[in-house]
């Protein structure tokens, strides 16, 4: 039987969120306990646990059919892989940082400076584009300590909350790249794995749609139904059910969460009452 091979990071926040995505997609792993591989019991999927910076190479070479990793790693490794989907988790940014006590007046600060980073390709392209001449010190880890030990004048590193920079006496001064988890695929994926991949992407889209939408229920006077229906039109149109109370109806609709918050005041002004906002588990369009 054909199996789709997925590479994910073997530990860390991105790994946890990748496994949670599979779980939400209804995929159960027989062994997800940080061993080298795990097999799904109810879907033709095998998961390989790898270092995140090795995943692009494994996917390019077809050892894994697909991979989930940060977009920053995909761009830095520049392997021949296809980026299929942005997954809306593990958001971070690749930023320049300098010692907290330094005065920063703009990118020209970095002219003739040394910058420590694990992302020399991305940083080099950025500096070239900005016409900044700086020396890049490539190091594999603990980039944030480089200024403190005299290795560099500043750093270029991944930032999520900024707490690590603060602990090491640094401040973020420029954002080079905004990144999130992406799904990548080998360019030579076979027809069997490709068919399974489409099934997996279908599930991921259903989960993503559910996460960004909410099921809305509210009561409203019949005279306001037309106005409220234009505010929360749903996927095609809202469902309207008469209430036992004469002249009133219940409106059910599915709305993007950001849009709902924008029109809440208008709903109340139109006469809506008893508004309920309910999460959606899966949503298939």
**Over the stretch 66-120, which tens digit does the pLDDT of each residue have?**
999 999 999 999 999 999 999 999 999 999 999 999 999 999 999 999 999 999 9
**What percent of the chain shows pLDDT beyond 90?**
87
Q: Say if CB 22 and CB 205 are below 8 A apart.
A: no
Q: How far apart are CA 113 and CA 40, in angstroms?
A: 50
Q: Quickly tell me which residue has 């694990």 as its tokens.
A: 118
Please state, rounded to an integer, the average pLDDT across all residues of the chain.
Answer: 93
Based on the fold, state whether residues 45 and 154 are members of the same structural domain. no
Residue 269 phi, psi (nearest 5): -65, -35
Kindly give, in sequence order, each residue whose CB lies less than 8 Å from that of residue 44, ignoring residues fewer than 6 positions away: 1, 2, 3, 4, 196
Confidence bin at 141 (pLDDT 50/70/90): confident
Based on the fold, state whether residues 139 and 185 are members of the same structural domain. no
**What percent of the chain shows pLDDT beyond 70?**
99
Which CATH number does the domain housing residue 275 bear? 3.30.70.120
> Which residues are registered as beta bridge partners of 173?
none
Global pTM value: 0.87
Based on the fold, state whether residues 83 and 31 are members of the same structural domain. yes
Of 89, 97, 103, 150, nearest to 119 by C-alpha is: 97
Based on the fold, state whether residues 114 and 171 are members of the same structural domain. yes
Based on the fold, state whether residues 77 and 98 are members of the same structural domain. no
Q: How far apart are CA 97 and CA 113, in angstroms?
A: 12
pLDDT at 187 over 60: yes
Based on the fold, state whether residues 83 and 121 are members of the same structural domain. no
Based on the fold, state whether residues 160 and 97 are members of the same structural domain. yes
195 is a domain residue: no
When pLDDT is averaged across residues 37-42 and rounded to a whole number, the result is: 93
- At 243-255, the pLDDT tens digits run 999 999 999 999 9
Based on the fold, state whether residues 99 and 75 are members of the same structural domain. no
146 is a domain residue: yes
Q: Say if CB 79 and CB 56 are below 8 A apart.
A: yes
pLDDT at 282 over 60: yes
Confidence bin at 162 (pLDDT 50/70/90): confident
Which CATH number does the domain housing residue 120 bear? 3.40.190.10
Based on the fold, state whether residues 11 and 140 are members of the same structural domain. no
pLDDT at residue 31 in the model? 64
Of 97 and 33, more confident: 97
When pLDDT is averaged across residues 15-19 and rounded to a whole number, the result is: 94
The angle that helices 13-24 and 191-212 make with each other, rounded to 10 degrees, is 90
pLDDT at residue 200 in the model? 97
Based on the fold, state whether residues 82 and 130 are members of the same structural domain. no
Q: How far apart are CA 60 and CA 74, in angstroms?
A: 11
Q: Which two tokens stand for residue 222?
A: 């019949």
83 is a domain residue: yes
* Per-residue burial over 118-146, b = 16 or more CB atoms within 10 Å of its CB, e = otherwise: bbbebbbebbeeeebebebbebeeebbbb
197 is a domain residue: no
Q: How many domains does the chain have?
A: 3
pLDDT at 34 over 90: no
Q: How far apart are CA 285 and CA 254, in angstroms?
A: 11
Give the range of the structural domain holding residue 259, as residue numbers without chain letter: 213-279
200 is a domain residue: no
Q: Which two tokens stand for residue 206?
A: 């259903």
> At which of 131, 157, 189 does a domain end?
189
159 is a domain residue: yes
pLDDT at residue 58 in the model? 97
Based on the fold, state whether residues 58 and 112 are members of the same structural domain. no
123 is a domain residue: yes
Confidence bin at 32 (pLDDT 50/70/90): low
Based on the fold, state whether residues 79 and 105 are members of the same structural domain. no
pLDDT at residue 142 in the model? 87
203 is a domain residue: no
């Amino acid at each position: 039987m054909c199996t789709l091979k997925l590479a994910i990071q073997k530990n860390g926040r991105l790994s946890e969120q990748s496994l949670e995505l599979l779980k939400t997609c209804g995929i159960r792993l027989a062994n997800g306990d940080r061993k080298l591989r795990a097999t799904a019991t109810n879907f033709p999927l095998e998961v390989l646990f790898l270092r995140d910076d090795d995943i692009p190479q494994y996917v390019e070479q077809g050892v894994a059919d697909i991979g989930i990793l940060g977009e920053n790693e995909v761009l830095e490794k520049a392997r021949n892989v296809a980026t299929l989907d942005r997954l809306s988790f593990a958001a971070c940014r690749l930023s320049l940082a300098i010692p907290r006590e330094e005065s920063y007046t703009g990118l020209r600060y970095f002219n003739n400076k040394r910058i420590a980073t694990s992302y020399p390709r991305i940083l080099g392209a950025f500096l070239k584009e900005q016409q900044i001449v700086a020396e890049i010190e490539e190091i594999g880890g603990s980039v944030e300590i480089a200024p403190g030990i005299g290795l560099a004048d500043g750093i270029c590193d991944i930032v999520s909350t900024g707490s690590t920079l603060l602990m090491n006496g640094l401040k973020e001064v420029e954002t080079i790249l905004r990144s999130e988890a992406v799904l990548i695929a080998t360019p030579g994926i076979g027809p069997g794995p490709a068919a399974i991949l489409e099934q997996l992407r279908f599930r991921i889209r259903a989960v993503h749609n559910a996460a960004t939408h909410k099921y809305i229920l509210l009561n409203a006077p019949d005279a306001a139904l037309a106005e409220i229906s234009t505010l929360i039109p749903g996927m095609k149109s809202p469902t309207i059910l008469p209430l036992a109370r004469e002249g009133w109806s219940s409106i059910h609709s599915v709305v993007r969460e950001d849009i709902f918050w924008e029109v809440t005041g208008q709903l109340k002004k139109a006469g809506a009452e008893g508004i309920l906002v309910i999460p959606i588990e899966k949503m298939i369009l």
